[in-house]
Structure 1
Amino acid sequence: MATNSSPSPGLSLPSTSALPPLRRIDVSSLNPADTPVLRIKTDEDVEAWKQTRGYQDYGLFLRRLAESVVGCSLPYGDPEPDPAAVAVIAMLDKLDKWIDEIPPLPTPQRFGNLAFRTWGKRLGEESTALLKELLPSSLHTALPFIEPYLLTSFGSFTRMDYGTGHETSFALFLLCLTLLRFLEPEPRIERQLVLNVFVRYLRLCWRLQDVYKLEPAGSHGVWGLDDYSFLSYIFGSAQLRDQKEIPVNAILQPPLPSTNLYFLSITRIHEVKSGPFHEHSSQLYSIATGVQHWSKVHTGLFKMYEAEVLGKRVVVQHIPLGGLLEWDAPQRHALSTAPTPAPFTTSAPSATPAPWATAAPLTMSTPYTAPSRGSPLPFTSSVAHTGHPGTARYPQRGPGANAPLIPARMPLGPTASTALRPLPKSSGTSTPVNGPPPPPPQSSHSKSGAGGEE
């Protein structure tokens, strides 16, 4: 693998010194009766979760990971790879080899090849052995507190789907390893967790989706950010946050270089989806044409992640909680008056402690508001910008300069099925991939967005 251990030209190495340190949990303090279980069953439980120490730990962990990669590019290689991070990658390599040993079955199902259940059964049978091989013997008593997150990191073996909830489970798995100090919360190691470990995990999940034809879990169709992933956009926008050479609307000019997770994710969309980008990825298109600075993209995506992923019961109800991720929720009758902390509100590093590290939880100064379908994201401007000097100008949305983004009439369907969907017959004319959207339909159309995670 080619290495790049230095940041982009003109940028200094990122630092997480302005963020509070992540706490350490001694394995001897864990209560054997408090292993992670499914606790979120109602919308009130979601709000209760946001009051817990585990939720705040996760917010701090993601902030530290994002800050550690500001200005860094892919491919990345540290001259002194962390042995623990290398061991996690080796475990993911082993899981990848299982795909070769468990080929898809020649079944007629368009989505969800039954061989994925065989792969999942093997994971369930060998997960304990995998973790014992990964962790030192001193941490083996913590396996019941870690194993549930590994088992939920690669998709649902019942519904044969994958989504942002499973991606979150893997991030929580890394958080557990860090709380126990198998992984050290140091910027150099946190950088490896994002640019080496998470990238390896992402590629494994892409292969699982392609080989076993996994359906998106709870996809919002064209109104969602991405059918399967979200954290890759947060980390990728962090990589690009402080530089000025690459404008936000550069994503509209494929092929994109594989220098950051944001571009990798956009490239992945082009590989598995057909049709105009503004139709099948309208939210990403709205960001590209309505936000001028990567710092604003990064801040907005953090808020959107908290609202659209962590704030949705259908997504987080399958995440086990307890043990290392403490479920110390307040009484339900107090939730109506208790302030909700905002651990995912982001800004440039400063000497001010993060909002969730203060004694009294703070509310968001500019809370995320879920957009109505077809409308631009709340952190985008109403007028598309034209980029930095020397970059190509992109068409305005609609016939007027201030016209809102018009969604597709119907979503193009789950991305895993693209290879099975026949290409449309040519009509003699072609529409540019990044051209302006079609005129609005005469009758409105709506689609239920939550879906498959139930």
Structure 2
Amino acid sequence: MVPSSPPRKCILTPAQLAWFQTSDTHKLIVEYIEMLNESVVGAKLSDEVVESEAVKAILAILDHVESIARDTPPVDNSSSRFGNPAFRTFYDKIADIASTLHTKIPSLPPQTIPEISLYFIESWGNRSRIDYGSGMEMNFLCWLLTLHKLQILSAADSKPLVLRVFWKYIRVMRLLQSTYWLEPAGSHGVWGLDDYHFLPFLWGAAQLRGHKYIRPKSIHDPEIVEEYAKEYIYFACIQFINSIKTASLRWHSPMLDDISAVKTWDKVNSGMIKMYKAEVLGKLPVMQHFLFGSIIPYEGPPPPMDEDFAVDAHIGHTHPHPPLGNVGSSHTNEASGVSPRDIAGGWGDCCGIPVPSAFGAARAEQQGNTHHNNMLPMDRFGGGGGGGGPGASIGLIGKGIRPVPFD
């Protein structure tokens, strides 16, 4: 085992990202996702699972995080639709006790705790921006991956890790999102299928593979959603979206609506894995924030010594910004099949105007605010810029939405 070292941000340029996508670390992360994925094919949330001592310790840690959130109420911030400052208090409490919590994990080498703890701390959201996205979700995944690499967790733990640990994490995150009105990370609420998350849909689709009766289009049937949300993560996520969003999935969640037209859950599941590699692991605005250390290493080229990559102090990270003039356009060049959004580096930059929490937007609507909770400020970019989550602009419907890789 390589001596533990503090994780740090390493990917700042497209060239570094391209190297990462061919690296053993990229392969390691994808293989871990796929191992957990295969462990829950056909499984229900109510299935009996064997919880190892390590899994029990992790669940106890998540219970502790939940109790801290419940003991840290939001401050009066009713005039704002954006993140509640009390989240920073919650975050600091977690950071203060993270090392102590890790001592409860059996057989965990003490020298690895500082490195592993950072992934855990960053799993709950960004302290300065009070936001959350699939990059933070990936930190939780990689927290589990570090424990797997240290042989604290084993392949035999895979099923309980998804059905118990990860599902507990999602429920705690829903509490944080609703309590502190965490903003969707990224200026357009992208890279998450429900503003915040990606992996619940990926592993949720695995649960449904081969199901005799339920089809992807069933997410549009309220009775089926209500019945199966108790057993299947995918339907529980749809139920959550419906509980905080008005109108239909077609309007506020065009990507999920597109996916519902796929014939089988097998194709949904395999397409989700492809999409995760392309839209999370393959996107610079996500990966530039990821931390690499001795357990999850980066051994690629260093960033160029160029003033264009100086630290952007207002946000706390480094990267070049594409021109905003292209990001807002959803029109595709018919000759090349490439949209300006692709040319600009994917769904758009990560440092644009903040997107309000769906909870805050819904509250504003209840109070008579003229902005509909599905018409978020990203519309100022001119016809969209969203990435397919519920925060996606109505202007994107039928206009240049990137096709989903499910066929």
Q: TM-score, normalised by structure 1?
A: 0.67
Partner of 1:133, secondary structure, is coil
Higher helix share: 2
* 1:179 paired residue number: 149
Residue pair 1:223, 1:373 contacting (<8 A) in 2 also:
no
Alignment of 1:201-216 (within 5 A): 201-216=169-184
* 1:152 paired residue number: 122
Residue pair 2:133, 2:197 contacting (<8 A) in 1 also:
yes
Q: Distance in 1 between matches of 2:130 and 2:25?
A: 28
Q: 2:205 aligns with which of 234, 237, 258?
A: 237
Q: 2:95 aligns with which of 115, 119, 124?
A: 124
* 2:254 paired residue number: 282
Give the AA of the match of 1:150. Answer: F
Deviation at 1:221, TM superposition (A): 5.1
Residue pair 1:215, 1:416 contacting (<8 A) in 2 also:
no
Structure 2 vs 1, CA of residues 414 and 315 (structure 1 numbering), >3 Å: closer, same or farther? same
* 2:364 paired residue number: 421
Q: Which has the larger radius of gyration?
A: 1
Give the AA of the match of 2:288. Answer: Q
Structure 2 vs 1, CA of residues 73 and 207 (structure 1 numbering), >3 Å: closer, same or farther? same
Residue pair 1:104, 1:211 contacting (<8 A) in 2 also:
yes
Q: Distance in 2 between matches of 1:184 and 1:374?
A: 47
Q: 1:326 aligns with which of 281, 291, 297?
A: 297
Deviation at 1:419, TM superposition (A): 3.7
Alignment of 1:218-237 (within 5 A): 218=186, 220=188, 225-237=193-205
Alignment of 1:34-113 (within 5 A): 34-78=5-49, 80-107=50-77, 108-113=79-84
Q: Distance in 1 between matches of 2:30 and 2:255?
A: 24
Q: Distance in 2 between matches of 1:374 and 1:277?
A: 22
Q: Deviations over 1:63-119 (max 9, x none)?
A: 0000000011122332x3222111101100001001122111112332111110001
Q: How many residues align?
A: 325
Q: Which consecutive aligned stretches of 4+ in structure 1 deviate over 6 angstroms post-superposition?
A: none
Give the AA of the match of 2:234. Answer: Y
Structure 2 vs 1, CA of residues 413 and 292 (structure 1 numbering), >3 Å: closer, same or farther? farther
* 2:237 paired residue number: 265
Partner of 2:129, secondary structure, is coil
Structure 2 vs 1, CA of residues 144 and 95 (structure 1 numbering), >3 Å: closer, same or farther? same
Q: Distance in 1 between matches of 2:99 and 2:251?
A: 44
Structure 2 vs 1, CA of residues 272 and 222 (structure 1 numbering), >3 Å: closer, same or farther? farther
Residue pair 1:53, 1:327 contacting (<8 A) in 2 also:
no
Structure 2: state its 5+ residue gaps.
Answer: 305-328, 333-354, 369-380, 392-407
Residue pair 2:16, 2:302 contacting (<8 A) in 1 also:
no
Identity percentage over the alignment? 34
* 1:366 paired residue number: none
Q: Distance in 2 between matches of 1:417 and 1:219?
A: 16
Q: Deviations over 1:1-20 (max 9, x none)?
A: xxxxxxxxxxxxxxxxxxxx
Deviation at 1:124, TM superposition (A): 1.3
Residue pair 1:165, 1:309 contacting (<8 A) in 2 also:
yes
Q: Deviations over 1:265-295 (max 9, x none)?
A: 1111011111222100111111112x11111
Deviation at 1:134, TM superposition (A): 2.4
* 1:295 paired residue number: 266
Structure 1: state its 5+ residue gaps.
Answer: 1-28, 334-371, 376-411, 426-443
Q: Distance in 2 between matches of 1:207 and 1:68?
A: 27
Residue pair 2:184, 2:190 contacting (<8 A) in 1 also:
no
Residue pair 1:41, 1:313 contacting (<8 A) in 2 also:
yes
Alignment of 1:340-351 (within 5 A): none
Q: Distance in 2 between matches of 1:306 and 1:65?
A: 15
Give the AA of the match of 1:218. Answer: G
Deviation at 1:222, TM superposition (A): 8.9
* 1:115 paired residue number: 86
Partner of 2:219, secondary structure, is helix
